[in-house]
């Protein structure tokens, strides 16, 4: 069973402070929405999600669900978040490295 999702974004282009703040908010919201959509669609309601910043990268978030979800759901979350962030950065024409880990 899984209960946490960590998303780390590494700046490879040298973004300014304002852009970093916008990116921080985007990462938090996209992560929370994806967790809610996937976990709820599998019938494994998370009941609550706590979000904490990750300090050892350019920007990132660690999300903890109050209720555990299955390994299968965790794998889907990891793949979906990695794909969504890759597509997002490609559309924004930003070279960013993203790491997603579900535990």
- Whichever domain contains 27, its CATH number is 3.30.70
Check residue 45 and give its pLDDT. Answer: 65
Check residue 46 and give its pLDDT. Answer: 62
Check residue 79 and give its pLDDT. Answer: 96
What pTM does this model have?
0.87
Domain of residue 18 covers 2-102
Q: Which run of H or E residues covers position 53?
A: strand 49-53
Domain count, the chain: 1
Give the count of beta carbons closer than 10 Å to the beta carbon of residue 38. Answer: 19
Contact 57, 97 (CB under 8 A): no
Q: CA 82, CA 80: separation in Å to the nearest integer?
A: 6
CA dihedral 74, 36, 79, 50 (to 10 degrees): -70
Check residue 83 and give its pLDDT. Answer: 96
* Mean pLDDT per 10-residue segment, the chain (103 residues): 91 90 93 88 77 88 89 94 95 93 93
């Amino acid at each position: 069973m899984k209960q946490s999702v960590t998303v780390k974004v590494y700046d490879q282009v040298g973004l300014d402070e304002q852009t970093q703040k916008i990116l921080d908010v985007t990462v938090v919201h996209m992560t929370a929405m994806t967790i809610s959509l996937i976990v709820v669609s599998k019938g494994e309601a998370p009941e609550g999600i706590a979000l904490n910043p990750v300090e050892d990268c350019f920007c990132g978030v660690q999300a903890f669900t109050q209720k555990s979800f299955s390994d299968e759901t965790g794998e889907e979350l990891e793949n979906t978040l990695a794909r969504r962030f890759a597509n997002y950065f490609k559309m924004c024409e930003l070279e960013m490295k993203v790491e997603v880990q579900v535990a």
